[in-house]
Amino acid sequence: MRHFLQQHGPARFISADKALDESAWRAQRVAGYRMRGETTAEDGDYLFHSSGFAEAIAGLDRRAAADALAEAGFLKKDPTGKRTRSERVGGKSMRVYRVSCSILEGDEE
């Protein structure tokens, strides 16, 4: 997941605020959306749609990968424990995998 975000983060994620404004899109082959950060645009979480998440974890079982990310503190599950959660994207609610931007911090393992 870290490698996917390092490689594609800036190019394949649309600002969640502008997600429905197609004139604001610069990304191709969109993997998901980027939340507005609390202090800068670079500290917002990543919201993966289903196919973007599948691409990021290619070759792994989706449930097992999501559970491993959640256990490591990088995937934010919904309050009932579901792997996807409802988030506001472009003014609409949609279910996404929310991956914390903190996954980009630290050493490669």
The one-letter amino acid code at 82 reads K
What pLDDT is attached to residue 30? 84
Specify the pTM. Answer: 0.85
Tell the residue number behind the tokens 């559970």, with chain if given: 67
Band of residue 108 on the pLDDT scale cut at 50, 70, 90: low
Count CB neighbours of 1 within 10 A. 21
Q: What is the pLDDT of residues 12-70, one digit of tens each?
A: 888 887 666 655 556 568 899 888 766 555 678 999 999 999 999 999 999 999 999 99
Phi first, then psi: give them for residue 84, nearest 5 degrees: -100, 155
